């Protein structure tokens, strides 16, 4: 009792110090005020916090980290709370402060000739896209949560999305970071150099580390010219294997212009159309292997308007698709004829997560495979899933071998009685056999720690622990995430 | 005396063990036999070794590392010995074994549809290029030493080269590695997945770590379709700043097709033409800012032969260059009309290091800058260099902001009397002011440890030491390289 009172007193001292650093308006310590911060988007993860602090600058972050470190209180860095694995909320048993980066929203500089931008961690992805567009440039990272996720969270989880096939993950888009380490020291590497071989690669070590090695406070990103032309189509391809042939052929014919190559299975399309009755399926009848394909080009020649009013790139894509239909790779295709039709295709793609959620309980695997093994996985796993009473609702960023394989209850089955653990084990065994990964782009957080413990190479787990202990000996940076307890 | 005999006896036991592992034919312990391995290309760095061991497999590397670790003997991983910073030879004062990877030359697999290749560390870069070409694909990493450097060395130093402007450094081309850690454990991450967010990024931590955290034994690389058309030109541009405008304009007009954008100053061209009298300057008169420009495309349309016999892409580039001459960005230009002419331009570019060496003593800075600051650096540094009695012979991968700034003796000055340290300090001060880096693509090795100590952020140096100590507590992996002693 006395111990707990002493602890409370110590916590009061810490909260007072934090309040001095960020100002009383930017610290929340009442559970009602904190409610929005202690639970994430999924609703599955909720954690207690001593306080939520919202610093406005890197200097304030440094002081917050130093104060928490001195008190032995954990720090949970948090962005837009759109993560799917519970990485952004505290775990039980460790007194924690949530460090919300949402007030660090400056775009510090934009170099149009050098094609780079420096943005703070709390900038919302869609805001960054919009700001950059004002200079005629594009920041290509994009996915459903773009309106609320922050670039700090994108970096911490190495977020992927729909354009990775062309531009890479967040990692590949980032040229350098500013970060506060667990000891309160600051790494300042925002020069935006394309080449800089001066020691270990901290940028890439912190990207994808889910806040366990430090707090990323700002980053410099590559920018790209805004495409002058786009062409978007929805395809029914004969099989997943043939889809990969289609991808390679379209890449070669367009000079690598594919910006999105998104797989959608018929059951997933059905679920979307049920959840959003105004979304109509783009093709008549049942789709074999649905693919949302988008190509984009900055070449003025590709943006030229032809005599019949069509755009050069769209015309080229139509020709390529016609040839692929002739060769029986593609069964049916619909080319978006207007920006509105393109918007409808993308709205369908981006509604999938909400639609699956609306459909009922489901477990979504975020997995990846070598392209050559995607079809084998889907065929074998679908069979197993059906036999266990599940209905797979699969979509994926097929160009990257990344599937979001959702296990829902098959009609007439009750979710609560289904053997989810068995199904997951079957999936993971298949992934292991086919050189796949149990976590492609959503990260580990809390939710995938058990599978991480089981499937990650012991040598890598040991090396991860060694690095974590070296940089964060007191385990105050986002404890209980990413690294399994021994 | 007794101590030294004991040590010798211990070393004999180790050598016997190593001989068992790799076979007696693959261990060299006589100094005459080892001579080729204990000195690097520059001739500046030479180190004593107990032995050179040449394992043929990852299993043998593991055993060698474990045996050395048990004896407290250091391991110096070595590839083609083409490094420029002394990273591949032993340092004095630490009993060392050279671990030559040159027998690990298997190309383990090539996935043409997935566009990846798995190659062992000892594969020579040019051999990999040639093997991959047999499948109609290309591995784009390339630079002067390609005929003797190994991909293990390329990875350890994160080598750059002439095509980085399009394809990135070795780091960006690598999808995963196999490596032996200092404790003899093996990281096996050769699945070639495009997305795999399962913990800290060891691939990127080991790439560029110059063998100080482990031995990379194999890697999986991205491959690209072989271009169907190329166009190569030599330009005299009005200024370095205008060259960056030219780069952006050519990128935008060709859809990002620039594969090389190499800066050559007139004094560097003069030195090349003196060293190789059969190389003729591509343009008449004095070049303002020389640029070797190459664009390449895989689009069949770009490879089409026009009525006048010219190739589509070459014609397009000619038009773009004509417009840029009209706009007075470009002063003069020469478009290669044949593969022979193209070869001559590249031979000129790739002869630069040999030519500078033949010209006399010189100190070559391998630096990088934000594109916007390149011109300022060159203008100010040239002035300082001349006033100190130096003749700058500057070339560079301008598209990446990477300069190889060579300080040679100006005519009528004697090298031995020139204030090289002062010139280097001036350069480093300028780099610091202009957000540049003192090491762009050659790495740190031994030669840049002093400047590393001086210029690298203390927080990063401390974090590097923490990681090194965590993974290699006994400092047996390539000691004395990359990380300054405290």
Q: What is the CATH number of the domain that holds B33?
A: 3.30.43.10
pLDDT (tens digit, 9 = 90+) per residue, A139-190?
Answer: 999 988 999 999 999 999 999 988 999 999 999 999 999 999 999 999 999 9
**In this predicted model, what pLDDT tens digit does every residue of B192-223 receive, in sequence order?**
999 999 999 999 999 999 999 999 999 999 99
Amino acid B40: pLDDT: 82
Cβ distance of A371 and B114 shorter than 8 Å: yes
Average pLDDT estimate for B40-68:
94
What angle do the packed helices B2-22 and B58-71 form, to 10 degrees?
A: 170
Of B196, B200, B255, the CB nearest to A209: B200
User: Shortest Cα distance from A276 to chain B (angstroms)?
Assistant: 30
pLDDT score recorded for residue A259: 97
Nearest chain A Cα to B469, which residue? A470
Which 8-state DSSP code applies to residue B158? Answer: T
- Answer yes or no: is A461 within a domain: no
| Average pLDDT, rounded, for chain B | 95
On whether residue A463 sits in a domain, the answer given is: no
- Give the confidence band of A308 by pLDDT, cuts at 50, 70, 90: confident
| Residue B368: inside a domain | yes
Q: Do A205 and B205 touch (CB under 8 A)?
A: yes
In this prediction, residue A292 has a pLDDT band, given cuts at 50, 70 and 90, of very high
Choose one of B225, B241, B259: the last residue of a domain. Answer: B225
Contact assignment for A457 to B191 by CB distance below 8 Å: no
Binning pLDDT at 50, 70 and 90, where does residue B2 land? Answer: low
Residues A347-373 have a mean pLDDT of: 94
The structure tokens listed for A361 are 């309980």
Q: How far is A17 from chain B (nearest CA, A)?
A: 24
Q: Identify the H or E element spanning B180.
A: strand B174-180
* pLDDT in the model for residue B38: 93
- Residues B293, B365 within the same domain: no
Model confidence at B310, in pLDDT bands (50, 70, 90)?
A: confident
Question: What was the pLDDT predicted at A288?
Answer: 87
pLDDT value at A5 more than 80: no
Same-domain check for residues B119 and B208: yes
Q: Select from A192, A467, A483 the Cβ nearest to the Cβ of B470.
A: A467
Structural contact between residues B483 and B464, judged by C-beta atoms closer than 8 angstroms: yes
**pLDDT tens per residue, range A244-273:** 999 999 999 999 999 999 999 999 999 999
CA distances for A157 relative to A136, A139, A143, A149, A160, angstroms:
28, 18, 14, 11, 9
In a domain, A66, yes or no: yes
pLDDT of residue A4: 66
Position B4 confidence tier, pLDDT thresholds 50, 70, 90: low
Evaluate whether B295 touches B258 at the Cβ level (below 8 Å).
yes
Closest chain A residue to B299, measured at CA: A255
**Residue B130 is assigned to a structural domain of this protein:** yes
User: Are residue A253 and residue A347 in the same domain, yes or no?
Assistant: yes
Q: Residue B391's closest CA among B406, B404, B375?
A: B406
Are A268 and A328 in the same domain?
Answer: yes
pLDDT for the residue numbered A432? 96
Contact residues for B186 (Cβ-Cβ < 8 A; gap 6+):
A459, B58, B62, B178, B179, B180
Q: Which residues of B touch A470 (CB under 8 A)?
A: 466-467, 469-470
Q: What is the CATH number of the domain that holds A379?
A: 3.30.70.2740
Q: pLDDT-derived band of residue A9, with 50, 70 and 90 as boundaries?
A: confident
> Which chain B residues are within 8 Å of A452, Cβ to Cβ?
198-199
Structural domain tally of chain A? 4
Q: Chain A partners of B473 at a C-beta cutoff of 8 Å?
A: none
**Confidence band for B486, pLDDT divided at 50, 70 and 90:** low
Nearest CA in chain A to B186: A459
Task: Show which of A208, A225, A242 is a domain's final residue.
Answer: A225
Instruction: Indicate if B236 and B213 belong to the same structural domain.
Output: no
> Is the dihedral angle over the CA atoms B418, B424, B430, B433 positive or is it negative?
negative
Contact residues, chain A, for B197 at CB < 8 Å: 157-158, 160, 208, 437, 439-444
Same domain? A207 vs A297: no
Q: Are residues A275 and A325 in the same domain?
A: yes
- How large is the average pLDDT for residues A56-80? 97
Please write the tens of the pLDDT for every residue from B58-84: 999 999 999 999 999 999 999 999 998
Q: Which band of pLDDT confidence, cut at 50, 70 and 90, is reported for residue A6?
A: low
Counting DSSP H helices and E strands in chain A, the numbers are: 17, 18
Q: Which residue of A has its CA nearest to B241?
A: A113
Q: Locate the chain B residue with the closest alpha carbon to A396.
A: B195
Per-residue pLDDT, A188: 95
- pLDDT surpasses 90 at A375: yes
User: A108 pLDDT exceeds 90?
Assistant: yes
* B97 burial via Cβ count (<10 Å: 0-12, 13-18, 19+): buried
Span B95-110, pLDDT tens digits: 999 999 999 999 999 9
The rounded distance, in Å, linking the Cα atoms of B162 and B156 is: 18
Cβ contact B98:B53 at 8 Å: yes
Nearest to B405 by CA among B427, B425, B384: B427
Q: Which residues of A touch B206 (CB under 8 A)?
A: none
**What tens digit of pLDDT does each residue of B169-186 get?**
999 999 999 999 999 999
How many Cβ atoms are within 10 Å of B380's Cβ, its own excluded?
15
The dihedral through the CA atoms of A228, A234, A237, A239 has a sign that is positive
Q: Sorting pLDDT into bands at 50, 70 and 90, what band is B10?
A: confident
Give pLDDT tens digits for B414-434: 999 999 999 999 999 999 999
Minimal Cα–Cα distance from B274 to chain A, Å?
Answer: 31
* Contact residues on chain A for B116, CB-CB shorter than 8 A: 370
Spatial separation of the C-alpha atoms in residues A123 and A119, rounded to whole Å: 7
pLDDT digits (tens, 9 = 90+) for B115-169: 999 999 999 999 999 999 999 999 999 988 999 999 999 999 999 988 999 999 9
Nearest chain A alpha carbon to B316: A301
| Domain final residue, candidates A286, A319, A352 | A352
B191, B253, B300: residue with CB nearest A299:
B253
What is the secondary structure of A409-452 as a DSSP string? EPTT--GGGS-HHHHHHHHHHHHHHTT-BS-SSS--TTTTHHHH
Maximum CA extent, chain B: 85
Q: Which residues in chain B have Cβ-Cβ distances shorter than 8 Å to A239?
A: none
Nearest to A345 by CA among A431, A230, A254, A434: A230
B154 lies in the same domain as B187: yes
- Residue B3: pLDDT above 60? no
Q: Does residue A250 lie within any of the structural domains?
A: yes
A&B contacts, CB < 8 Å: 261
Closest alpha carbon to A179 in A164, A194, A201: A201
Contacting residues of A for B198, CB less than 8 Å apart: 437-439, 444, 452, 456
Q: Of A310 and A391, which is predicted with more confidence?
A: A391
Provide the CATH number for the domain around residue B281.
Answer: 3.30.70.2190
CATH number for the domain including B146?
A: 3.30.465.10
More confidently predicted of A59 and B44: A59
Q: What pLDDT was estimated at residue B9?
A: 82
Whats the size of chain A, residue-wise? 486
pLDDT at position B413:
94
Indicate whether B413 and B364 sit together in one domain.
yes
Do residues A119 and A200 both lie within one domain? Answer: yes
Q: Is residue A135 part of a domain?
A: yes
Does B298 sit within 8 Å of A164, measured CB to CB? Answer: no
Is residue A7 predicted with pLDDT exceeding 80?
A: no
Would you state the pLDDT for residue B309? 83
Smallest Cα distance from B270 to chain A, Å:
27
Residues B85 and B163 in one domain: no
Same domain for A88 and A36? yes
Angle, helices B240-254/B374-387, rounded to nearest 10 degrees: 150
Assign residue A389 a region: left if phi > 0, alpha if psi is -120 to 50, beta otherwise? left
Closest residue on chain A to B451 (Cα) = A198
Domain of residue B178: give its range: 107-225
| Residues β-bridged to residue B392 | B407
Query: Does residue A486 lie within any of the structural domains?
Result: no
List the one residue out of B274, B267, B308 whose CA is nearest residue B288.
B267
Structure confidence at residue A486 (pLDDT) = 65
């Amino acid at each position: 009792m006395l111990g707990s009172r002493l602890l409370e007193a110590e916590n009061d001292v810490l909260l007072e110090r934090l309040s001095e650093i960020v100002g009383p308006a930017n610290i929340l310590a009442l559970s009602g005020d904190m409610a929005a911060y202690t639970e994430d988007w999924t609703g599955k993860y909720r954690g207690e916090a001593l306080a939520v602090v919202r610093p406005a600058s890197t200097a304030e972050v440094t002081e917050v980290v130093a104060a928490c470190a001195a008190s032995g209180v954990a720090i949970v860095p948090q962005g837009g709370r759109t993560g799917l694995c519970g990485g952004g909320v505290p775990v039980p048993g460790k007194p924690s402060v949530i460090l919300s980066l949402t007030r660090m929203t400056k775009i510090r500089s934009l170099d149009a000739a050098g094609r780079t931008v420096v943005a703070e961690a709390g900038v919302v992805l869609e805001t960054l896209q919009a700001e950059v567009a004002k200079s005629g440039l594009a920041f290509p990272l994009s996915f459903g949560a773009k309106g609320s996720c922050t670039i700090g969270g994108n970096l911490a989880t190495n977020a992927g999305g729909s354009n990775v096939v062309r531009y890479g993950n967040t990692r590949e888009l980032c040229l350098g970071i500013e970060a506060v380490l667990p000891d309160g020291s600051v790494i300042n590497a925002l020069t935006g150099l394309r080449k800089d071989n001066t020691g270990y690669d901290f940028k890439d070590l912190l990207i994808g580390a889910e806040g366990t090695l430090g707090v990323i406070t700002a980053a410099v990103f590559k920018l790209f010219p805004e495409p002058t032309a786009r062409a978007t189509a929805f395809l029914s391809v004969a099989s997943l294997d043939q889809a990969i042939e289609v991808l390679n052929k379209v890449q070669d014919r367009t000079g690598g212009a594919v910006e999105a190559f998104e797989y959608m299975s018929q059951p997933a399309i059905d679920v979307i159309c049920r959840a959003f009755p105004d979304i109509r399926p783009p093709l008549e009848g049942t789709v074999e292997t649905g693919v949302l394909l988008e190509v984009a080009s900055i070449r003025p020649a590709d943006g030229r308007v032809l005599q019949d009013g069509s755009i050069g790139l769209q015309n080229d894509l139509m020709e390529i698709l016609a040839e692929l239909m002739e060769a029986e790779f593609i069964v049916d295709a619909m080319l978006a004829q207007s920006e509105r039709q393109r918007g409808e295709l993308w709205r369908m793609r981006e509604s999938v997560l909400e639609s699956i959620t609306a459909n009922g309980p489901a477990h979504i695997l975020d997995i990846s495979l070598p392209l050559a093994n995607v079809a084998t996985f889907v065929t074998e796993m679908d069979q197993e899933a059906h036999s266990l009473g599940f209905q797979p609702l699969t979509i994926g960023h097929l160009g990257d071998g990344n599937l979001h394989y959702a296990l829902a209850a098959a009609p007439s089955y009750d979710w609560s009685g289904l053997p989810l653990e068995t199904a997951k084990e079957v999936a993971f065994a298949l992934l292991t056999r086919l050189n796949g990964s149990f976590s492609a782009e959503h990260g580990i957080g809390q939710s995938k720690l058990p599978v991480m413990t089981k499937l990650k190479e012991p040598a890598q787990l040991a090396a991860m622990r060694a690095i974590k202990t070296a940089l964060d000996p007191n385990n105050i940076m986002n404890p209980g995430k990413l690294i399994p307890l021994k």
